[in-house]
């Protein structure tokens, strides 16, 4: 029974049978389209029985309105990688930069940038998460030293172009090629296998089992190890070096970073989809790029990862990828990475390699967004690195379907329309079921491409395997050269000899035991192999022995080193080739040493019979067949036997076995020679001429000085150091060569001299003269005065004039520090007098109480004058005198002006009363009333009354005047 779940273009089928019973719960995650408000999910249940009827169930999904979310980062150019927790798919922003999310949907947000500490956040889409701000912390400055040297080979194909083209003088004839060392560093070809090597900082780096290895490339000895968190799946790829770090791809979709010098672990990345680490690791501008592989039909991730060591205190911190891109899987798919884009090829997604179609992807290097993609125009997995050739400005890769592809890009990473070209390769089979597959990354040089191609039987000897030469101008096969095994890996091309013979030399390994290393030499215009540079090989075919012309065999691993070889050879700047094969031996093939020269003689060349040769001071240089030279002093040996009279020459030979390295490599040299493999090679020797003497020949003296500065010299015999030494007492003279001072000592130099056989020998010794010390004289204190400073008590050196604040001369001082500031005047007021009414005053003089000096003269204060008031004033009355009053000073009390007497005014009587004081007039007698003549006549009555009223009014006015006069007097 099958159950098919479908939604839009997506579907997944579950099969139920004896192994997958329907009573076991199985979960299907259905990816929804966030752009749609409603979607339908169908579940179709069917059975293989012919009479069964399939039933389809529909589920209609009505969605909540989406949440438009913005993500703001600091720094602004950080990479935002947002994925759904339901299906793991990446959510990309719209044209406005916002992300459309499902309401209440769960998401994972990763924000990274090279040089910063990445962050991973869980996001639930909703109102609270519509505006997300992420600020990254600056990572600590890198402490990893860049160790790269000229001639190093730091990654799979030597450089970022993935082209494997060098100018190193590699060996080009079997007679001139010698296996110098072979060191077994792993086991077999599984998880414990040895990886392909790289070169960084003058050392080889490889890995085997769970160890990262640092190997001395001159001796093959392992000089350092780092521990990996696990092994690699098959160790079919090399590590990668960049920015002072080594990166290794490990099983389970992991990448581990190490410090290149210490091999200490830095961080570990684990991909969420896991997979085998079957791709080389590319590097560009602070990021590494690599892909993983789960199976022929399952998808896997290609990842971009910042190399920043975000937490130097953690050796296995969990590293976040800047981004991942999911596709059919990536196997031997080494990326080409540059500032604007990353190119990588993919598997075809089908089993085998004769039905599905692989793709070449162009991805944004910082965000992982797909810039463009092209589907291959023929079937087959695309399993090679992408190689770039600047001369043709094109990119090249191969396929298991048997094709070489060429494509060009625009500056923005999109592919040039119509630029994808395909050339079908040839293995002689002409059968789509056994295509001329290739996983060999093309080597491009001088308008030619060089590729390893499989025969009709991948592991069948002489089945059509070949090295193919392609003319790029016509984009056609120029010619092919047969090989015993499939050259499954990539070639190494050197241009070192083009100026001599015009040829480029290209090196490939047969992936077939014994793993022969072949060389093809080629130049533009050739349409067939150079028949003078091939190897004739014979094998048993279906109808008997067959002899064919094959690619030139430079070297054949023999004995324990013979095995299948999935390894692309690498080379250092001196032309030494390094490789491994399934024997798990790491090996070095070098140019033959043509001579050993003694380029610096040893310190001793004169000996007595019976002594042994001493090589101290000697330098030995190897001359190589490729024209290079090497200082091999550390690797030579010579006789240790007692010298005889016939030993006038010492033979010096190259022998790595003299190195004391526990568990060291195999240093038995062998090569292909005279048509035979595994031929031991004997290194040429050098010669040191020595002289044997009987009698004394004295060398330089050894001097001995006594405590009293007497001395003697002893001369040893250079012919035989065991002879008694010659003792000569020396004549010693002395002189003061540096005089002493108060603080600094001087030097007395003693010179010893002896004469032997007319030759004068001298030696010197020095004796320090102590410092003289200060001669101090006390200086009494000079007190400070009002206007002049003083000086504190101190001591002065009568020799150097320095000043000190203590009698021991320990605390140096200065005159400025010793100066006592002037005290200044202390004044008081003298002669001050206040002014009086009649006499002047004085402000007083300011006089110093210490020195008596008048600092400031005073000023006269004018007399104040009297301030008077009237005293004793009294008004005169009718009977008593008055007084005008005295003018008296209110300040001093002096009577300034005497007053005058005011005579009594006397009474002023009217009608018997004083009009002033009211006193009764004692002499007053009122008048007798007069009777009117006509009392009955009223005429005149009114006039009398008016007169009375007038008199009364005058009296009242007089009284008022008197009262006013009194008030005025009193006031």
HEC assignment per residue over 877-893: CCCCCEECCEEEECCCC
CB neighbour burial string for 403-431, b if at least 16 within 10 angstroms, e if fewer: bbbbbebeeebebeeeebbbbebbbebee
CB neighbour burial string for 325-339, b if at least 16 within 10 angstroms, e if fewer: bebbbbbbbbbbbbe
Instruction: Read off the pLDDT band of 952 (50, 70, 90).
Output: very low
- How would you class 450 by CB atoms within 10 Å of its CB: exposed for 0-12, middle for 13-18, buried for 19 or more? buried
User: Cα(573)–Cα(626) distance, rounded to whole angstroms?
Assistant: 12
Contacts for 114-122 with beta carbons within 8 Å, 24 or more apart?
114/285, 114/286, 114/287, 114/306, 114/307, 114/308, 115/139, 115/286, 115/306, 115/308, 116/75, 116/78, 116/308, 116/310, 117/308, 117/310, 117/311, 118/306, 118/310, 118/320, 118/322, 120/320
- pLDDT of the residue at 933: 55
In eight-state DSSP terms, residue 730 is: P
Asked if pLDDT for residue 724 goes beyond 70, the answer is yes
Asked if pLDDT for residue 370 goes beyond 90, the answer is yes
- pLDDT of 816-871, one tens digit each? 999 999 888 898 988 889 888 988 889 889 989 888 888 899 898 998 888 989 88
Average pLDDT over residues 753-767: 92
Q: Tokens 């929804």 map to which residue?
A: 32
User: Cα(727)–Cα(729) distance, rounded to whole angstroms?
Assistant: 7
213 CB contacts (<8 Å, ≥6 apart)? 185, 204, 205, 206, 207, 222, 224, 225
Task: State whether residue 747 is helix, strand or coil.
Answer: strand
Tell how far CA 966 is from the center of its chain.
115
User: Cα(437)–Cα(907) distance, rounded to whole angstroms?
Assistant: 168
Compute CA distances 672 → 173, 255, 382, 531, whole Å.
9, 39, 36, 19
User: Cα(232)–Cα(191) distance, rounded to whole angstroms?
Assistant: 6
Q: Which residues pair with 375 in a beta bridge?
A: 359
Contacts for 858-862 with beta carbons within 8 Å, 24 or more apart?
858/831, 858/832, 861/833, 861/834, 861/835, 862/835
What stretches of 402-485 adopt beta strand conformation (E)?
Answer: 403-407, 421-424, 443-445, 448-453, 466-471, 476-482
What count of other Cβ atoms lies within 10 Å of the Cβ of residue 780?
9
Asked if pLDDT for residue 616 goes beyond 50, the answer is yes
803, containing H or E segment: strand 803-804
Average pLDDT over residues 884-912: 88
Is 78 in contact with 112 (CB distance < 8 Å)? yes
The total number of residues shown for the chain amounts to 971
Q: Which range (187-196, 426-435, 473-482, 890-899) has the least confidence? A: 890-899
What phi, psi does 175 have (nearest 5°)?
Answer: -65, -25
Is 517 in contact with 553 (CB distance < 8 Å)? yes
293 Rama sector, left if φ>0, alpha if ψ -120 to 50, beta otherwise: beta
Average pLDDT over residues 320-338: 97
- pLDDT of the residue at 694: 67
Q: Which range (35-39, 625-629, 654-658, 930-934) has the least confidence? A: 930-934
Average pLDDT over residues 323-352: 96
Task: Tell me the average pLDDT of the chain.
Answer: 91
Of the candidates 847, 843, 837, the one whose C-alpha atom is nearest the C-alpha of residue 860 is 843
Instruction: Read off the pLDDT band of 693 (50, 70, 90).
Output: confident
Q: Which residues pair with 636 in a beta bridge?
A: 654
- pLDDT of 512-525, one tens digit each? 999 999 999 999 99
End-to-end CA distance of the chain: 142
User: Cα(856)–Cα(846) distance, rounded to whole angstroms?
Assistant: 5
- pLDDT of 191-244, one tens digit each? 899 999 999 999 999 999 999 999 999 999 999 999 999 999 889 999 999 999
- pLDDT of 436-495, one tens digit each? 999 999 999 999 999 999 999 999 999 999 999 999 999 999 999 999 999 999 999 999
- pLDDT of 571-615, one tens digit each? 999 999 999 999 999 999 999 999 999 999 999 898 888 889 999
- pLDDT of the residue at 896: 86
Is 922 in contact with 967 (CB distance < 8 Å)? no
Regarding pTM above 0.85, the answer is: no
What phi, psi does 908 have (nearest 5°)?
Answer: -130, 95
Portion of the chain with pLDDT greater than 70, in percent = 94
Asked if pLDDT for residue 139 goes beyond 50, the answer is yes
Q: Tokens 């006039």 map to which residue?
A: 943
Asked if pLDDT for residue 908 goes beyond 50, the answer is yes
User: Cα(470)–Cα(520) distance, rounded to whole angstroms?
Assistant: 13
Asked if pLDDT for residue 799 goes beyond 90, the answer is no
403 CB contacts (<8 Å, ≥6 apart)? 376, 378, 380, 422, 423, 424, 425, 438
- pLDDT of 146-204, one tens digit each? 999 999 999 999 999 999 999 999 999 999 999 999 999 999 988 899 999 999 999 99
963, containing H or E segment: helix 941-970
Asked if pLDDT for residue 58 goes beyond 60, the answer is yes
Is 503 in contact with 469 (CB distance < 8 Å)? no
Of the candidates 151, 153, 159, 165, the one whose C-alpha atom is nearest the C-alpha of residue 196 is 153
Q: Tokens 């490599």 map to which residue?
A: 665
């Amino acid at each position: 029974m099958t159950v098919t779940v479908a939604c839009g273009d997506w579907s997944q089928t579950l099969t139920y049978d004896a192994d997958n019973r329907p009573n076991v719960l199985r979960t299907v995650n259905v990816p929804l389209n966030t752009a749609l408000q409603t979607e339908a999910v169908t579940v179709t249940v069917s059975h293989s029985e012919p009479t069964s009827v399939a039933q389809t169930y529909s589920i209609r999904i009505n969605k909540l309105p989406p949440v438009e979310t913005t993500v703001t980062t600091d720094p602004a150019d950080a990479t935002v990688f947002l994925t759904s927790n339901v299906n793991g798919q990446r959510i990309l922003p719209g044209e406005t930069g916002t992300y459309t999310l499902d309401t209440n949907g769960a998401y994972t947000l990763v924000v990274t940038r090279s040089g910063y500490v990445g962050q991973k956040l869980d996001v639930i889409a909703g109102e609270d998460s519509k505006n997300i701000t992420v600020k990254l912390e600056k990572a600590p400055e890198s402490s990893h030293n860049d160790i790269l040297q000229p001639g190093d080979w730091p990654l799979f194909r030597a450089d970022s172009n993935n082209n494997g083209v060098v100018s190193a003088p590699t060996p080009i004839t079997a007679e001139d090629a010698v296996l110098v060392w072979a060191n077994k560093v792993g086991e077999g070809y599984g998880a414990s296998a040895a990886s392909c090597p790289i070169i960084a900082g003058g050392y080889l780096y490889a890995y085997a089992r769970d160890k990262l290895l640092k190997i001395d490339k001159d001796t093959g000895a392992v000089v350092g190890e780092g521990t990996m968190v696990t092994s690699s799946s098959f160790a079919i790829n090399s590590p990668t070096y960049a920015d002072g770090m080594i990166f290794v791809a490990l099983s389970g979709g992991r990448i581990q970073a190490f410090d290149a010098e210490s091999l200490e672990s830095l961080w570990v990345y684990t991909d969420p989809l896991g997979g085998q680490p079957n791709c080389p690791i590319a590097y560009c501008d602070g990021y590494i790029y690599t892909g993983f592989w789960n199976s022929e039909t399952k998808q896997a991730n290609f990842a971009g990862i910042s190399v920043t060591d975000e937490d130097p205190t953690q050796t296995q911190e969990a590293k976040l990828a800047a981004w991942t891109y999911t596709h059919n899987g990536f196997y031997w798919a080494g990326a080409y990475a540059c500032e604007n884009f990353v190119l990588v090829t993919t598997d075809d997604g089908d089993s085998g390699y004769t039905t599905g179609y692989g793709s070449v992807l162009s991805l944004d290097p910082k965000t992982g967004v797909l810039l463009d993609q092209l589907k291959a125009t023929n079937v087959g997995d695309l399993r090679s690195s992408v190689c770039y050739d600047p001369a043709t400005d094109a990119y090249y890769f191969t396929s298991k379907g048997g094709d070489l592809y060429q494509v060009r890009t625009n500056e923005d990473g999109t592919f040039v329309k119509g630029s994808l070209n395909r050339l079908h390769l040839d293995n002689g089979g002409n059968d789509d079921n056994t295509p001329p597959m290739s996983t060999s990354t093309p080597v491009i040089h001088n308008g030619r491409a060089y590729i390893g191609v499989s025969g009709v039987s991948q592991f069948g000897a002489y089945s059509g395997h070949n090295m193919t030469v392609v003319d790029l101008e016509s984009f056609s096969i120029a010619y092919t050269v047969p090989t015993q095994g499939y050259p499954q890996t990539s070639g190494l091309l050197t241009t070192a000899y083009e100026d001599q013979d015009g040829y480029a030399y290209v090196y490939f390994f047969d992936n077939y035991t014994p793993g022969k290393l072949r060389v093809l030499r080629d130049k533009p215009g050739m349409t067939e192999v150079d028949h003078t540079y091939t190897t004739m090989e014979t094998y048993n075919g279906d109808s008997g022995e067959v002899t064919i012309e094959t690619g030139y065999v430079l070297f054949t691993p023999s004995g324990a080193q013979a095995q299948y070889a999935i390894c692309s050879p690498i080379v250092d700047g001196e032309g030494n080739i390094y490789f491994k094969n399934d024997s798990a031996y790491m090996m070095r093939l070098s140019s033959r040493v043509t001579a050993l020269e003694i380029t610096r003689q040893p310190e001793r060349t004169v000996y007595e019979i019976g002594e042994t040769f001493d090589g101290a001071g000697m330098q030995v240089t190897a001359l190589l067949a490729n024209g290079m030279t090497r200082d091999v002093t550390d690797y030579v040996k010579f006789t240790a036997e007692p010298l005889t009279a016939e030993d006038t020459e010492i033979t010096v030979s190259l022998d790595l076995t003299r190195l004391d390295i526990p568990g060291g490599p195999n240093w038995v040299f062998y090569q292909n020679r005279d048509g035979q493999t595994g031929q031991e090679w004997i290194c040429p020797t050098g010669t040191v001429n020595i002289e044997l003497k009987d009698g004394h020949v004295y060398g330089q003296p050894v001097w001995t000085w006594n405590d009293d500065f007497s001395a003697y010299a002893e001369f040893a015999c250079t012919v035989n150091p065991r002879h008694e030494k010659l003792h000569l007492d020396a004549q010693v003279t002395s002189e003061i060569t540096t005089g002493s001072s108060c603080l600094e000592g001087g030097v007395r130099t003693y010179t010893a001299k002896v004469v032997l056989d007319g030759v004068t020998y001298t030696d010197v010794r020095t004796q320090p003269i102590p410092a003289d010390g200060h001669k101090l004289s006390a200086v009494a204190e000079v007190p400070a005065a009002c206007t002049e400073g003083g000086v504190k008590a101190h001591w002065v050196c009568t020799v150097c004039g320095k000043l000190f604040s203590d009698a021991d001369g320990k605390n140096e001082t200065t005159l400025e520090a010793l100066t006592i500031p002037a005290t200044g005047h202390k004044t008081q007021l003298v002669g001050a007098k206040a002014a009086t009414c009649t006499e002047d005053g004085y402000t007083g003089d300011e006089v110093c109480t210490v020195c008596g000096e008048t600092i400031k003269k005073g000023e006269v204060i004018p007399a104040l004058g009297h301030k008077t008031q009237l005293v004793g004033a009294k008004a005169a009355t009718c009977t008593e005198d008055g007084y005008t009053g005295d003018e008296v000073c209110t300040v001093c009390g002096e009577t300034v002006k005497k007053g005058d007497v005011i005579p009594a005014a006397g009474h002023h009587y009217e009608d018997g009363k004083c009009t002033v004081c009211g006193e009764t007039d004692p002499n007053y007698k009122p008048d007798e009333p007069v009777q009117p003549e006509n009392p009955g006549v009223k005429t005149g009555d009114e006039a009398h009354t008016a007169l009375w009223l007038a008199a009364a009014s005058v009296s009242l006015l007089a009284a008022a005047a008197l009262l006013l006069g009194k008030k005025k007097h009193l006031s």
